[in-house]
Amino acid sequence: MLRTHKLAVLFVVALTVGCGSAGGLGGSISLDEEWQLGQQLAAQIAQQMRLVGDPQALTYVREMGERIHRVTPLANRPFDFHIVDDPSVNAFSIPGGHVYVNTGLIGATLKANELAAVIAHETAHIVSRHAIAQMEQAQTINIIGSILLGQNPGALQQIAAQILAGGVMARFSRGDEKQADDLGLQYMAQAGYDPHGMLDMFQRLLALENSRPGAVAKFFQDHPGTQDRINDISGRLAKMGRTTGIVDDPEFQAVRRRVGVAPQ
């Protein structure tokens, strides 16, 4: 049991997408295996975390997510987009096409393209297979195989619990975060959203943290280097030139009123 727990913790360090190190595509784990692993993890998370089932809100977030997903190189792979009933301002993703956005983040974003920026960023982490690259670097291939074969349900449950608790949380390297920001901006523009929403979102949350310390601490814990990233995003937008697209829409505001929770 102790060995299983240690393996599970090691796996979480390599797996969790908490916005650690390593970039590039995974080589030892196929996309089919990654998507199988993602389905098993998502099922565990659904048992341990309160997910929002509001049909109007879910439909909106999933349609937004799909609009972004279908312009990516993994458009032929199934993705799913979830809303977590959690007032903290945060979002995360897991391998295999699952993106999770907290109600607190929906409440903190004021326009549709700000939420699209978060979803595009998390989608970019999945497309870039950052978490899989971390797993390979941490040499956790054997435990992955045992989970995929259904031989280690205890480890799977432990992984999901650790992801939700946030007690063992890897962070991506600065290079991984920059790649997710850059690709996210590209995906937003291609999907028809004004990419300035990413800049607006970071600036808004940084201002909120400065005026009310701790209000968005979880987001900055999982998405470090915010001011540097604001500068990088500004430079990227300047290189993109004049951009247009969806900034806001009434449907987003309706969803925000239904499920959004303002940061405390």
138 has pLDDT over 60 = no
Residue 114 lies in a domain: yes
CA 171/CA 92 separation, integer angstroms: 11
Residue 26 lies in a domain: yes
pLDDT for 24 equals 45
1 has pLDDT over 70 = no
pLDDT for 153 equals 64
The distance of Cα 211 from the centroid of its chain, to the nearest Å, equals: 25
157 has pLDDT over 70 = no
Residue 80 belongs to what H/E stretch?
A: strand 80-84
Position 233 confidence tier, pLDDT thresholds 50, 70, 90 = very high
Can you tell me the mean pLDDT for 217-226?
74
Residue 264 lies in a domain: no
pLDDT for 161 equals 63
pLDDT for 60 equals 98
Q: Could you read off the pLDDT of 11-34 as tens digits, one per residue?
A: 443 344 445 333 344 557 789 888
Query: What is the overall mean pLDDT for the chain?
Result: 81
CA 219/CA 225 separation, integer angstroms: 11
Residue 246 lies in a domain: yes
Q: Could you read off the pLDDT of 57-68 as tens digits, one per residue?
A: 999 999 999 999
Cβ contacts of 170 within 8 Å, gap of 6 or more: 12, 13, 14, 15, 16, 18, 20, 134
CA 129/CA 17 separation, integer angstroms: 10
pLDDT for 217 equals 78
Mean pLDDT is lowest, of 189-198, 228-237, 255-264, for: 255-264
Residue numbers of the domain that contains 169:
2-259
Q: Could you read off the pLDDT of 178-194 as tens digits, one per residue?
A: 999 999 999 999 999 99
CA 39/CA 125 separation, integer angstroms: 17
CA 179/CA 212 separation, integer angstroms: 29
**Do residues 200 and 44 lie in contact, with contact meaning Cβ atoms separated by under 8 Å?**
no
**How much of the chain exceeds pLDDT 70, in percent?**
73
CA 195/CA 186 separation, integer angstroms: 8
pTM score, two decimals?
A: 0.84
Closest CA to 82 of 121, 111, 49, 110: 49
| Residue 167 per-residue DSSP state | S
pLDDT for 264 equals 65
Residue 35 lies in a domain: yes
37 has pLDDT over 90 = no
CA 127/CA 187 separation, integer angstroms: 11
Question: Which residues are registered as beta bridge partners of 83?
Answer: 101
- What is the widest separation between alpha-carbon atoms in the chain? 57
Residue 135 lies in a domain: yes
Number of folded domains in the chain? 1
Residue 17 lies in a domain: yes
Structure tokens at 119: 């979803």
Dihedral in degrees, nearest 10, Cα atoms 179, 180, 183, 189: -140
pLDDT for 148 equals 63
169 has pLDDT over 60 = no
Mean pLDDT is lowest, of 71-75, 118-122, 213-217, 233-237, for: 213-217
Closest CA to 193 of 137, 250, 106, 112: 112
Q: Could you read off the pLDDT of 77-127 as tens digits, one per residue?
A: 999 999 999 998 989 888 899 999 999 999 999 999 999 999 999 999 999
| Residue 100 per-residue DSSP state | E
**Do residues 137 and 21 lie in contact, with contact meaning Cβ atoms separated by under 8 Å?**
yes
Residue 250 lies in a domain: yes
